[in-house]
Structure 1
Amino acid sequence: MQPTVRTLLDRPELGLALLTPPASLPPEALDAAVVWAHSSDLVDPAPFLDAGHVLLTTGTQFERAEADEPDFADAYVRRLLETGIAALGFGTEVIRAGTPDALVDACARQGLPLFEVPYRTPFIAIARLVADLLAEDAYARQAWALAAQRAISLAALRPDGLSATLGELSHRLDAWVGLIDAAGTLDREAPDGGLEQPALGEVVGEARSMLRRGQRASRSLVAGESVGAPQRITLQTLGGGGALRGVLAIGDSAELDQAGREVVTSVIALAGLALEQNRDLDRARGHLRTGLLRGILAGDTDLAERVASEMWGPLPAAPFRVAIADVPAQHVDRLTELLELRVEERGGRLFFGRDQDTVVILLEDADTALADEVAAEFEVPVGISDAVAADAVALAHEQALRALERARETKAGVVAFDEISRQGVLAFLARTDARAVALATLAPLTEYDEAHGTSLLETTRSWLEHGGQFDATAQALGVHRHTVRSRVALAEKLLGRDLSGFHARADLWAALLAVD
C-alpha cells in the first residue's frame, strides 16, 4: 500500500506530532499519497519540489526572515501548496526550540498538513521509511499484476476463453468490464447487469462512435450523470486501424495504476487475438455464404437450404424480400457481425452474403426494418425488392439492384422497388443516363422563358399532366384556355415537334421526369 501522511503520523518510532488542526485541513488531506521525502532549508524550495512530496526543514530560513519579513510564513506556505506537496515537517531543537507560531498559523489558514519532528528522529529515518514503503508497495503491485496475468492467461484457455478472461479481469479490478463487438452491440459483460441504464447506453453509444471512425483509440467518459450516478468508464478499441474488432469498456477501479494498466494491456492483447481468430472463422463462413448465395440466385435453393439449416437455421420463409446494401470495405466486418447477430436472434429466417462490393440480404416480408437498421447504422444506401414467392428470388434480386441504383442518388437510406415502380417505366428510364439528353431537349423552352419572362415549360408540363386538355390546364394554371393553346403552339414551334401524337408527348414527359 502506498504511504500517506497518516501512515507517517501513525508510526510510533518516528514520534511525529501533527500541529495543524484536522478541522482546518481539506478532506482526505492526511490520506494523500506520499511519493518522496527530503529536506531543505532554502527560503524558496518550490523549484525542487513536486506533487506528493513531504518537505522536511529545520527552520534556518525562518531565523533569517522573521525579523525582516512578517508575512514570510504565509508566502512560504503558499509557494509549497502551489507545488502540490503532501505535508511539511519541522525538525525542532536543531536550529530553534519548537515550531514557529507564524508557520503553524499559516499552515492552518491555508490547509497544509504540518507535523513536528522531534530531535531524536533524524530526517533520514523519515526518508528511508517512505522509500521502504514505496518499494514494498511497488513489489506488492508487481506481485498482484503477475498473479492477475497468470490467472487471466489460465482463464483464456477455458472453453469460452474470452468470457472467462473478462470475468477474471473484472474480479481482479473489482470493476465492471464489458465487450462491445464490431457491430456495436454489447457482446458480453462481467458481472452480468453490472452497469445499468442509462450509463450502459451511453457507453455503447460512445463505443459505436469509435467503431465508426475506424481508428485505434482509447478514451474515458463519465456515464450516468443524468440520473445522479456518474461512473467513469475507460474505452479501448480492439484490433488494428481500419479493421477494429470491438471495444473493451472498464469501469472505474482503484486498481488501475501502472500495474493495473499492465494487466488491462495483456487482456486487450488476449481479447484481440481471440477476436481475430473469430474473424478468420467469420471469413470462412462468409465465403460459404457467398457460394450459397450464388446458388440461390441461380435458382438452386435445395443445397442452400440444407447447409443453412445445419449452420445457422432455415432460410427465410416466403414471401420474402431481397435487400442489397453498398458497404465500404472498412465496414464489412462490422456489418457481418451485426447480421450474424440478427441471424442468431431469429434462429435463422435470415440469410446474407457478399456479392462483389455489396451485401445481399434475404429476409422475410415482415422483417423490412432490418434494411432501415443497416442504412442508419452504416450510413449507406440500401435497395429492397417487393415481396416475392420462393421461386422468384432472381426477380427480387433484380428489383433490389434497381432500387439500390435509386438509393445511391441520395447516398444513404432505403429505397423500396415499389416506390419507383409506382412512377412508371418512363420515370425509371429517365433516371439512368437521360438527364443530359433531356436538358438539351427542353433547352428551347427554358431559354425562351428566361429571355422573355414567360412560363412555356410550366404550361407544357401542366398540359401533359392533364392529358392534353386545354380547359383543365387553364383552370389549374388560372389562365384562359386560349392562353394555354397559344403557349403550347409556341412550345411546339420552339421544340420543332407536333405534340398532338402520343409518342411525342411521351418523349417530352420522359424528358421532364429526367430533369426533375
Structure 2
Amino acid sequence: MADQPTLQALLRRRDLDLRLVSQPAALRDGALEKPLRWVHSSDLADPTPFLSDDLALLTTGTQFDAASDIGAYVARLADRGVLGLGFGTEVHRSGIPDALVEACALHGIPLFEVPYRTPFIAIARAHSEAIAARAYARRSWALDAQRGLALAALRPRGLDAIITELSRRLGVWAGMFDAAGALAHSPARDAVDRRLLDALGERVTEVLARGLEAGQSLTIDDRTFLLSTIGRGGHLRGVLALEIDALDSEARAVVTSVIAMSGLALEQSEQLARSRRRLHSQLLRSLLTDDPSIARRVLGALPVAPIVVAVSGDAPATALVDWWERQRTEHGVASFLAESDDGVTMCVAADDDALIDELAARFGIRIGVSAPDSYAAFSRSHAQALTALRQRGTMGAARFADAVGSSILSALATDEARLVAESRLAPLRAHDTDTGSGLEHSLRVWLEHDARAEQAATALGVHRHTLRSRIAQAGTLLDIDLSSFPARAELWALLETARD
C-alpha cells in the first residue's frame, strides 16, 4: 500500500531543492513522517484562523518587522497543529531570521528553507500530485485485492481462502468466528494468544446474541480489533475480526466485499445445512422407533452406546451445530443433532455427558438430559429428556435422574394442572386475602402433620378447636369433605401444584 504523503517526502524531492533548517534533535518524534494534508502559503501576522490541521505553511516573512513577536507567531502555529514551516528566502530578506529558527526549535516545528528559484505553487502542486498518486495507487490496490479475493473464493474451502487472502492484502491479523462465537479460521492463529482470543470470543458471542448487523471497534491489551457481523439481522452466521485501528475508504470497500462474499458463501452453506437438518429430522423419527440401523447406514456411525439424549426447546440450532462440530474436529467427540417440534435433540455418548453442561452454560439455555441407555431404548430416553426439560428450574442441564428423585406431583405439575389447582383454591385464597385468616397455611400445616389436629395446632400456636374450626371453614369454601383420605389427598395435590 502507498504511504501517506508527508513533509519528509517533500523534502526529499530534488526538483524542489528544499533544505531542512531545524536540527533533528529539536523536532518532535515523527514530526517529518506525519501525514501531510495540504500545503498553504500566507504572510499574515496571524494566519491560524484560516488554517486546517496537519498542513505545512509557507511564508516569505513580510509580516515580520523589528516589533514582531516571532515567538508568539510560532506558538500559534504549533497550537493550530501546523506540521512544518517553509521560509522563502531572498524574496523580501536574505536568510532566515534567527528568532524564527529558535522559536521553531522551541516548539518542535520543522523549519525548512525554500530557495528563491522554487515558487510556492510548485511545492503545493508537488504535494497535490503526491496525494493524487497515492489515491490512484490505493484504488489500484483495492481493485487488485478484490480480484485476488474473487479468485480465492473459487478455491477449495473458499471461505477460509478469502480470510487468508484478506489478511495478506491488509497485512493484519484476521479471524472468522462462527455462529457459536468460536474462532473457525485464522491464517495466523498463533499471532493472538489464547487469553486474548477468549476475550474476543466473549465479545463476539455478545454481538451474535443481539442478533443485529453491526460493526464495532474493540481494544484489548492495547490491541485494537474491528468486528463486523456476517449475515442478515436476526440470522447472523458469524463475525469477521481484523486487528486494525481504522480503514480508509479503499480498505473498507475491500472488507465490505469480503463480508458480502462471506455472507454468500455461508448462505450457500446454510442451504446445504437446511437439507442436512431435514435429513437428521427424518433420522430422528427412525431412532424414536428404537431402531438405529437406518441412521447408521446413512451417517456411517453414531455416538457409542451407552448414550444420553438431551433436548432443548429454546436453543439456537445453527449455533449448537457449529459448537458440536467444533467438538468433533478439535476433540473427536461424536454427536447426533436433529430438530423437531420438541426442540433440538442431541445424542452423545454417556462419557461425554459433561459437555452438555458446558453447552447449556455457554448459550444460557435449559436442556433436559436422559439417563444413560442403549439405542434400543432411544424413545424412552427421549421421553426422559423431555420430562427433565419440563421440570421447573433455572437455566442449565436438568437430568431425568434428578426428576425421578422428586415427587410424582412435580412430574405432573404441568401448566394446565397448575391452572386447575389455582382455580380450585381461588375461593380459599380470596377469603384469606379479605380476612387475613391464613386458612391455606393452616391446611398445609395440618396435612404436613398427617391431619392430626393436636400436633398441627401446637405447630401453629393455636388451640386444636380453633384449628378444627378453620379446617371446617376451608372445607366449606372449597366444597370438599376433608374427613376422607381421598379428599385430603386431592387437597394436598392442589396445594403442591398451585403456584404460591
Q: TM-score, normalised by structure 2?
A: 0.88
Change (3 A) 1:25 1:449: same
Q: CA deviation at 1:146?
A: 3.9
Q: CA deviation at 1:286?
A: 1.0
Q: Does 1:14 align with 2:5?
A: no
The amino acid across from 1:272 in the alignment is G
Q: CA deviation at 1:289?
A: 0.7
The amino acid across from 1:428 in the alignment is A
Check the 8 A contact 2:226/2:245 in 1, yes or no. no
The amino acid across from 1:364 in the alignment is A
- Any unmatched runs of 5+ in structure 1? none
Q: Does 1:110 align with 2:93?
A: no
Change (3 A) 1:99 1:216: same
1:515 aligned residue: 499
Query: Per the alignment, in what secondary structure is the counterpart of residue 368 of structure 2?
Result: strand
Check the 8 A contact 2:309/2:345 in 1, yes or no. no
Q: CA deviation at 1:266?
A: 3.2
Instruction: Calculate the aligned-residue CA RMSD, in Å.
Output: 3.1
Q: What does 1:421-460 align with in structure 2 at a 5 Å threshold?
A: 421-450=404-433, 453-460=436-443
Change (3 A) 1:367 1:461: farther
Change (3 A) 1:444 1:186: same
In structure 2, distance between residues paired with 1:5 and 1:159 = 46
Check the 8 A contact 2:59/2:87 in 1, yes or no. yes
- Any unmatched runs of 5+ in structure 2? none
In structure 2, distance between residues paired with 1:387 and 1:18 = 81
Which sits farther off after the overlay, 87-96 or 261-270? 261-270
In structure 2, distance between residues paired with 1:44 and 1:265 = 44
Q: What does 1:30-69 align with in structure 2 at a 5 Å threshold?
A: 30-63=32-65, 67=67
Q: What does 1:30-429 align with in structure 2 at a 5 Å threshold?
A: 30-63=32-65, 67=67, 70-71=68-69, 73-74=71-72, 76-223=73-220, 225=221, 230-252=222-244, 256-309=247-300, 313-327=301-315, 331-344=316-329, 347=332, 349-356=334-341, 358-406=343-391, 412-429=395-412
Check the 8 A contact 2:230/2:262 in 1, yes or no. yes
Q: CA deviation at 1:8?
A: 2.6
Q: CA deviation at 1:79?
A: 4.3
Deviations 1:219-242 (A, max 9, x none): 22112x2xxxx2111211112222
In structure 2, distance between residues paired with 1:481 and 1:271 = 77
Q: CA deviation at 1:348?
A: 6.0
Q: CA deviation at 1:285?
A: 0.9
Length, aligned pairs only:
497
In structure 1, distance between residues paired with 2:152 and 2:420 = 68
In structure 2, distance between residues paired with 1:459 and 1:103 = 97
Deviations 1:365-422 (A, max 9, x none): 3434444344434334433333344333223333333433345x86x44433444443
The amino acid across from 1:498 in the alignment is D
Sequence identity (%): 46
Deviations 1:211-265 (A, max 9, x none): 1111221122112x2xxxx2111211112222222111112389x5444333333
Check the 8 A contact 2:291/2:375 in 1, yes or no. no
Change (3 A) 1:334 1:48: farther
In structure 2, distance between residues paired with 1:439 and 1:287 = 41
Q: TM-score, normalised by structure 1?
A: 0.85
Q: CA deviation at 1:196?
A: 0.7
Check the 8 A contact 1:174/1:253 in 2, yes or no. no
Deviations 1:345-376 (A, max 9, x none): 56464211111372122233343444434443
